[in-house]
Amino acid sequence: MKEIVVISGKGGTGKTSITASFGVLGAGNTVIADCDVDASDLHMLMNPQNTREEDFTSGAVAVIDQDACVHCGRCSRVCRFDAIPYIDDRYEVIPLDCEGCGYCAKICPALAIKMVDQVVGRVFYSDAKTGAPMVHARLHIGAENSGKLVAKVKREAKAVAMEKGYDYVLVDGSPGIGCPVVSSLTGADVVVLVTEPTVSGLHDLKRVHQLVRRFQIPTACIINKADLNSEMTQELKTYLEANDILHLFDIPYDEDFTKCMVEGKTVVEIPGSRYHEIFEQGWRLLI
């Protein structure tokens, strides 16, 4: 089984529309995993059905039993995150500030603090409109550990692929360079970088590639909106060549992508679309 991960560093480069197009072309032997758990959009193009869902639990938050508390204030003093202020004659945990380290619970002489597990997200298992199995997730507001949820989505997608005998797992990866994208990249066989010819596109490509390089995974790149700025496109290409990144193909600045999105479709589903051929060839190079 081969795992193909699409990431972009910078948001808004068309990563999800591109992933969905590959997902449509690969239907039949590809499991789709949306690891952009912070802002998962892929389902809007893949229209998943027959969903089964479950809670995702991770991390903990401190809860003080006010009846047991003897007001010594030790919890408040040890908390490095200022999450236990003294308000209205009581020590109160501010859940938004609590990191879940449990230091307070360990030192409370009255044993008044419990660490309570948090439901931080939800995982969905379904069939995409193409019939392909899909796993996606939703991180609850302000939740931590999106890296763990990403790892979970990937693990589940692989398990589905194993079980059903699918050859590929296609992953819509997370943005940035932090823990979620590290989890997205872990275990990948091929990485596809989606970028655009803008100063920020190039900047973020370089930054995320520095991270990708550490994983030593074969890497390809798609330049979206390539005709927006030919100089920048040239600069991108020079960078790709110098860094042994396969330049998969270019996509022009085309509002058809947005029009398709409004209809919940990918560009490769439009009859007679010129993109069909381009994506088909690209997909064959990736798998």
Partner 1 sequence: MNIAIASGKGGTGKTTLSTNLAHYLAGTGRQVVLTDLDVEEPNSKLFLTGEVVETRREVRMVPTWNKEACQLCGACQTTCNFHAIVKIGTEIMIFPEMCHGCYACSELCRAHALPMEAVEIGTMTVMKTENFDFIESRLDIGQEQAVPLISKSIALVDSRYDTEVIRLFDSPPGTACPVIEVSKQMDFIILVTEPTPFGLHDLKLAVETMRHVGTPFAVVINRDGIGNADVEDYCREEHIDILARIPNDRKIAEVYSSGGLAYIGHERMTQALELVSEHIRGLEVRA
| Residue from 28, 73, 178, 218 in contact with ligand SF4 (CB under 6 A) | 73
Encoding tokens for residue 39?
């802002």
Helix, strand, or coil (residue 93): coil
Q: Is 86 exposed, middle or buried (0-12, 13-18, 19+ CB in 10 A)?
A: exposed
Closest to ligand SF4 by CB, 110 vs 115, is 110
In sequence order, the β-bridge partners of residue 12 are none
Binding mask 88-127 for ligand SF4 (x = CB under 6 A): ---x---------x------x-x-xx--------------
| Residue pair 236/228 in contact by the 8 Å Cβ criterion | no
Rule CB under 8 A: is residue 170 a binding residue for partner 1? Answer: no
Helix, strand, or coil (residue 69): coil
Q: List the one residue out of 158, 216, 132 whose CA is nearest residue 2.
A: 158
> Interface with partner 1 by CB under 8 A: which range of 46-54, 128-136, 159-167, 201-209?
201-209
| Residue pair 2/248 in contact by the 8 Å Cβ criterion | no
> Interface with ligand SF4 by CB under 6 A: which range of 10-18, 28-36, 70-78, 141-149?
70-78
Rule CB under 6 A: is residue 70 a binding residue for ligand SF4? Answer: yes
Which residues neighbour 59 within 8 Å (Cβ) at sequence distance 6 or greater? Answer: 100, 117, 118, 120, 143, 144, 145
Other CB atoms within a 10 A radius of the CB of residue 211 amount to: 16
Any idea which residue has 């029009």 for tokens?
A: 259
Rule CB under 8 A: is residue 147 a binding residue for partner 1? Answer: yes
Question: At its nearest, how many Å lie between partner 1 and the CB of residue 70?
Answer: 20
Binding mask 9-48 for partner 1 (x = CB under 8 A): xxxxx--x-------------------x-xx-x--x----
Encoding tokens for residue 249?
């193909």
Rule CB under 8 A: is residue 173 a binding residue for partner 1? Answer: no
Closest to ligand SF4 by CB, 70 vs 116, is 70
| Residue from 60, 63, 69, 211 in contact with ligand SF4 (CB under 6 A) | 69
DSSP state of 177: S
Rule CB under 6 A: is residue 61 a binding residue for ligand SF4? Answer: no
Query: Which residues contribute to the site for ligand SF4 (CB under 6 A)?
Result: 64, 69-75, 91, 101, 108, 110, 112-113
